[in-house]
Amino acid sequence: MKDRIVQIIKNIEGYRDGVEFYESLCRCAEYIKTRFKEMGFVVETDDFILKGREYSNIIATSKGIKERRNWILVGAHYDAVHGSPGADDNASGVAVMLEVARMLGPKEPIMFVAFTLEEPQLNTIEFLIGSKHFVNVMKRQGHNFRAAFILESVGYISHKPDSQILPPFVKAPRTGDFIGIIGNKKSIPIMESFKEMASKHVPELKVVTYKAPMKGYLIPETRFSDHAPFWDAGYPAVMITDTAMFRYPYYHTEHDRLEYLSAEFMTQITVALAKTVENMIIQSSGASPSSSSF
């Protein structure tokens, strides 16, 4: 599993913002589509035009999205901020998403989404452009989301004391050796489920949860990823994160590269998330737990 995660990051790492390196972003999208198709998923796109160019959110499901479902979504953005090769932000999230997809396979009602244009763009001050478009389209079409798990920079861990910076009024460890699960009031059950599954299946993974008040508007950084449009639309969603700028010294820089990331940490997160989604499916269907060994 570690080797697969590392290889995916190697394949994605590189300049791929939506303006200067538009072609690289498109190649990354094709790579993700191919990986999903190889795993047996039906792959569709949610396309939109910005400044005369087409961009695509990539959607992978077992049977397509023609029928409305109460979806369990796992997502990650595949673009990188201008000037950064984006290994942690967010090739790491895409790698974990793809590995969770490989482990679970095409199943109802799981939806995997690779979002585009999460980062601020050179030609606009907007960000979360892709996920906002996706959520608006899905809501208009009558889809619902039971849970959305958004992977946002999940590769960096530090065991050094005081390596973790904390926003005002946030209580958490001062050592950056945990994965953060950021939710709002509606997503408390999701946070609790992830923490329970991690404790059961990956006890070495430290999990710290945080409930953001007022949909995160009091601490704007808690809204800096693709979970925020789900919150705004009233869907339960969490951001799974190594806390990015609050821990990672190479956040949004040209040095955001694979060499600084932990394959072991990402593997642990992958197992915890796969088990969380699997458990949600079991609870809703009454099926027996999978005999597969992650």
Per the CB < 8 A criterion, the answer to whether 245 and 252 are in contact is yes
Q: How far is CA 1 from CA 94, 180, 259, 263, 270, in A?
A: 14, 22, 17, 9, 9
Tell me: the pLDDT tens digits for 227-276?
Answer: 999 999 999 999 999 999 999 999 999 999 999 999 999 999 999 999 99
pLDDT score of 69 = 87
Buried b (16+ CB within 10 A) or exposed e, 61-74: beeebeeebebbbb
pLDDT score of 291 = 45
pLDDT score of 55 = 98
Summary mean pLDDT of the chain: 95
pLDDT score of 289 = 52
pLDDT score of 54 = 98
Ranges of residues in the chain whose predicted pLDDT is under 50:
290-291, 293
Cα separation of 252 and 291, whole Å?
Answer: 41
pLDDT score of 230 = 98
Domains of the chain: 2-285 (3.40.630.10)
pLDDT score of 93 = 99
